[in-house]
């Protein structure tokens, strides 16, 4: 008797081969090449780290609203929907992607895979028409200030959970480079940290993510910052996870303002949250508040 073919050990069991083929994560003969293996490693690990957040919103809300911001080819959003929403038979995932061709292709893949709980929104994160209340906002490698837009969206819409893996981020490095003699004299003790262009780029990226984490804390999120996967899989590897536990934290806000003043920067996330948003009148009450 002929034995049934075994599934290659690297192929994840939660996802049908047809979906992985459509996402170009499997070759024609069903194998994984090096690039696909690296990509799958990242996404599977992120989905594992998202498990507490997804199971929480599925348990507590009748129709949880999830966002994949800066979705790109929608690897994360489609695999999240396949892993959790299809079986739960509830919830809605909004995949926001400004490039219409990518959104259209991913929408076609979702339709062929029967993932009818995914809605594609072909516009920018700031302009996306979304429900007033969101429960989980994710962003995997949303470039530069798109990660800030995703975080601002989560905060404004009172998301219970947020998870971002930032990509390239040059805005703060540009702000540091643009400082005048007066600014440099005021913060003379720290300017050696970013005097050279290479250090400025690396330090600017680090400072950006510190500001992001502190901003979330100031808005009541409990933060975990960790590594997504090994460096052999991606150089853009920092994962910021947030769970909303309070309405706000005044000590964190004070630390944030001190940090911004020390380095004389004002990144997009901070500026977005300083600007009134026409679709949100008030941050929703924290569900974990007493």
pLDDT in tens, 50-96: 999 999 999 999 999 999 999 999 999 999 999 999 999 899 999 99
Listed range (8-17, 198-207, 248-257) with the worst mean pLDDT? 8-17
Q: What superfamily does domain 34-274 belong to in CATH?
A: Vaccinia Virus protein VP39 (3.40.50.150)
| Structure tokens given for 228 | 């997504």
Residue 240 · residue 222 · CB < 8 Å: no
What CA–CA distance (Å, rounded) separates 39 from 25?
Answer: 8
Segment 28-54 mean pLDDT: 87
Instruction: Give the pLDDT confidence of 105-139 residue by residue, as tens digits.
Output: 999 999 999 999 999 999 999 999 999 999 999 99
Three-state DSSP string of the chain: CCCCCCCCCCCCCCCCHHHHHHCCCCCCCCCCCHHHHHHHHHHHHHHHHHHHHHHHHHHHCCCCEEEEECCCCCHHHHHHHHHHHHHHCCCEEEEECCCHHHHHHHHHHHHHHCCCCEEEECCCCCCCCCCCCCCEEEEECCCCHHHHHHHHHHHHCCCCEEEEECCCCCHHHHHHHCCCHHHHHHCCCCHHHCCCHHHHHHHHHHHHHHHHHHHHHHCCEEEEEEECCCCCCCCCCEEEEEEECCCCCHHHHHHHHHHHHHHCCCCHHHHHHHCCCCCCCCCCCCCCCC
Dihedral angle at the C-alpha atoms of 161, 90, 93, 45, nearest 10 degrees?
60
Segment 18-27 mean pLDDT: 90
pLDDT at 288: 47
pLDDT at 115: 97
pLDDT at 233 over 90: no
pLDDT at 10: 63
pLDDT at 178 over 50: yes
pLDDT at 11 over 90: no
pLDDT at 50: 97
Q: Regarding predicted confidence, which is higher, 189 or 274?
A: 274
């Amino acid at each position: 008797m002929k034995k049934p073919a075994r599934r290659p050990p690297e192929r994840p069991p939660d996802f049908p081969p047809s979906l992985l083929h459509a996402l170009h994560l499997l070759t024609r003969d069903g194998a994984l090449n090096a690039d696909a293996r690296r990509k799958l490693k990242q996404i599977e690990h992120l989905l594992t780290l998202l498990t507490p957040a997804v199971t929480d919103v599925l348990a507590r809300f009748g129709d949880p609203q999830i966002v994949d911001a800066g979705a790109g080819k929608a690897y994360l959003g489609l695999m999240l929907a396949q892993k959790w929403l299809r079986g739960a038979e509830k919830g809605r995932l909004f995949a926001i992607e400004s490039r219409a061709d990518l959104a259209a292709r991913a929408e076609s893949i979702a339709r062929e895979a029967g993932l009818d709980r995914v809605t594609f929104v072909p516009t920018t994160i700031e302009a996306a028409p979304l429900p007033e209340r969101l429960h989980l906002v994710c962003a995997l490698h949303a470039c530069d200030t798109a990660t800030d837009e995703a975080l601002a969206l989560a905060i404004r819409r009172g998301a219970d959970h947020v998870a971002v893996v930032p990509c390239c981020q040059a805005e703060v490095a540009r702000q540091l480079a643009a400082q005048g003699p007066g600014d440099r004299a005021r913060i003379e003790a720290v300017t050696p940290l970013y005097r050279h262009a290479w250090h400025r780029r690396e330090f600017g990226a680090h400072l950006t993510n510190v500001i992001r984490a502190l901003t979330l804390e100031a808005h009541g999120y409990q933060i975990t910052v960790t590594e997504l996967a090994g460096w052999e899989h991606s150089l853009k590897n920092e994962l910021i996870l947030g769970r909303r536990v309070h309405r706000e934290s005044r000590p964190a806000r004070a630390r944030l303002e001190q940090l911004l003043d020390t380095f004389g920067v004002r990144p997009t996330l901070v500026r977005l949250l300083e600007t009134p948003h026409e679709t949100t009148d008030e941050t929703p009450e924290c569900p974990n508040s007493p």
